[in-house]
Amino acid sequence: MPHELSALSSEPYVSLITFRKSGESVPTPVWVVADGDRLLVTTAPTSGKVKRIRRTDRVELIACDMRGNFADGAVPVTATAAVRTDDETLTAMDAALKKKYGAKYLAIRLAQKVRGSAAQSVAVELRA
Rounded to two decimals, what is the model's pTM? Answer: 0.88
* Amino acid 117: pLDDT: 57
Domains and CATH numbers, the chain: 3-127 (2.30.110.10)
* Burial of 11 per CB tally in 10 Å (0-12, 13-18, 19+): middle
What residue ranges of the chain have pLDDT lower than 70? 115-119
